[in-house]
Amino acid sequence: MELKIFGHKSPDTDSICSSIALTYLKNQLGESATAYRLGEVRKEAKYVLNYFKVDAPVLLEKVCSEDNCFLVDHNEYAQSVDGLQEANLIGIVDHHKLGGISTTLPLSVRIAPVGCTCTIIYNLFKENNVEITYEIAGLLLSAILSDTLLYKSPTTTQADIDACKALAEITKVDVETYAMDMFKYGTSLDGMSIPEIVHMDFKEFTIAGNKVGIGQVFTMDLDSIMAKKQEYIDYLESSEYFAVVLAITDIIKEGSYLLYKADNNVISDAFELEAAQGVFAPGVVSRKKQLVPNLTSALEK
């Protein structure tokens, strides 16, 4: 019976791309298989599917005891499709820790401590001598660049880099430019208002007796914010907070651009830089570990 291949719930680029690529490989090897997804396709994966002109997998809501399932990019019941414990688990390809699944029959499991499931799938194509098409190479490459944050993530291994090099030759894309475009699109704030962006991930603190607000936005689409820089400042200034900071975090540059309602001295002091609206604070990526303690010690002075 047909094999259902799918990644985890709330699918990221790796879950989408690995389900499609492994399905293609199985089909080439003569096995009947279909790629599924367990949730909405996010912006980043949409960019990838659109760029390489590949259809999204079909939405899968639950499985039953007759279904033959193959997991990619996860190996825990909690992250998987409803009904999996009753279904037949035929195989797993993943790069995460072991999640305690048990089965009644032998199966295929391929887990490796690499940065991305698609790196393992790339190697499965090679082991099985199946040619990687332009489209499949594009999906595999995109997922590895996504999971490794263009090799910046500490989870990156040589196997990931080697796979990307080989895949870039098939797709003929400039890896750096393509990855940045993908990240920008994936983290684009298009269609969101300034209040929505400021409050997307906003927390309130009481520091030295005053109410302080700290918002953080992960995006590589800085330009769209900076184009409306003064409107952001006006919005922050109009707030009732004693001080408020919006950190626009660029995970590739490993730092945050800061917009704020606060005394310039406080910002200079907190982040050891010369304060100015939109200034880049290198290395500042965590609200809990950096933004809050730094602002606390500066405001308590």
Question: Cβ distance 270 to 298 under 8 Å?
Answer: yes
Q: What dihedral angle (degrees, nearest 10) is formed by the CA atoms of 80, 30, 133, 19?
A: 0
Length of the chain (residues): 301
Helix (H, G, I), strand (E, B) or coil at 147: helix
Size of the site for a copy of itself (CB under 8 A): 21
Amino acid, single-letter form, for residue 219? T
Q: Which of residues 89-108 bind a copy of itself (CB under 8 A)?
A: 89, 95-108
Residue from 32, 61, 113, 283 binding a copy of itself (CB under 8 A): 113
Cβ neighbour number for residue 203 with a 10 Å cutoff = 13
Of residues 1 and 105, the one with the C-beta less far from a copy of itself: 105
Amino acid, single-letter form, for residue 51? Y
Does 118 participate in binding a copy of itself (rule CB under 8 A)? no
Does 226 participate in binding a copy of itself (rule CB under 8 A)? no
Does 109 participate in binding a copy of itself (rule CB under 8 A)? yes
Of residues 32 and 103, the one with the C-beta less far from a copy of itself: 103
Cβ neighbour number for residue 15 with a 10 Å cutoff = 29
Phi, psi of 156 (to 5 degrees): -65, 135
Tokens representing residue 263 in the block = 């005394």
The DSSP symbol for 1 reads -
Does 154 participate in binding a copy of itself (rule CB under 8 A)? no
Does 149 participate in binding a copy of itself (rule CB under 8 A)? no
- Pattern 122-141, binding to a copy of itself, x per CB under 8 A? -----x--------------
Minimal distance, residue 97 CB to a copy of itself, in Å:
5
Q: Which of residues 242-281 bind a copy of itself (CB under 8 A)?
A: none
- Pattern 53-92, binding to a copy of itself, x per CB under 8 A? ------------------------------------x---
CA 74 vs CA 23, 118, 123, 176, 200: distances in Å: 16, 12, 18, 27, 28
Of residues 69 and 284, the one with the C-beta less far from a copy of itself: 69
Minimal distance, residue 123 CB to a copy of itself, in Å:
9
Helix (H, G, I), strand (E, B) or coil at 282: strand
Does 8 participate in binding a copy of itself (rule CB under 8 A)? no
Binding site for a copy of itself (CB under 8 A): 89, 95-113, 127
